[in-house]
Amino acid sequence: MEEQSEIRHEYFDGAIVAMAGASLNHNRIVGNAFAELKALVRNKPCEVFQTDLRLLAKKRRTYTYPDVFVVCGKIELDANRKDTLTNPILIIEVWSKSTKYLDASEKFEAYRQIPSLQEYVMIDQARVHVERYRRSHDVFWVLATFENRNDILELASIEVSVPLRVLYDKVEF
């Protein structure tokens, strides 16, 4: 059904959720994050993907389209698909009022079940606010919050630093 559809859908353990269009700020932040990460991992064995590539969280039977995600090392695909990855190390979602709850709850619950995932970042498009969750000792997720354009987002999973001013470049509130 998804291959034939003109709109994208995410799947949460059998429930189908249509994805809404994105705002100007959402697109700016996604583009900024993608471009910066792509440049920063250029000489690393990592690839950065955005928006239109599907991700499978197998244990939760969840298919999503993360705004930005990074895979390091060999890309692992769903056995039945050539367009669905299964082994991200970092996932970034840009939230709005309508997506914040889903990104912070059901999606993060599904993403935590992905063995390769080391960091999950949520970026607010309505204000300078970034939440980074980092896996610790394979069982705990440690939260760090950033709320100033001068803050630096440290991404240990891919060993890079991203200034929030870069993520929020040209974003207007």
Residue 161 is part of which domain span? Answer: 9-167
**Nearest by Cα to 108 from 151, 117, 36:** 117
Is the pLDDT reported for residue 9 higher than 70?
Answer: no
pLDDT tens digit string along 88-144?
999 999 998 878 877 888 899 999 999 999 999 999 999 999 999 999 988 899 999
Residue 107 located in a structural domain = yes
The owner of tokens 């090392």 is 73
Tell me the CATH number at 112: 3.90.1570.10
Residue 3 located in a structural domain = no
**DSSP state, residue 125:** S
What is the distance between the alpha carbons of residues 35 and 33, in angstroms, rounded to a whole number?
6
pTM reported for the whole predicted model? 0.87
What is the distance between the alpha carbons of residues 34 and 31, in angstroms, rounded to a whole number?
5
Residue 1 located in a structural domain = no
Structural domain count of the chain = 1
pLDDT at 96: 82
Each residue of 125-162: b (16+ CB within 10 Å) or e? beebebbbbbbeeeeeeeeeebeeeebebebebbebeb
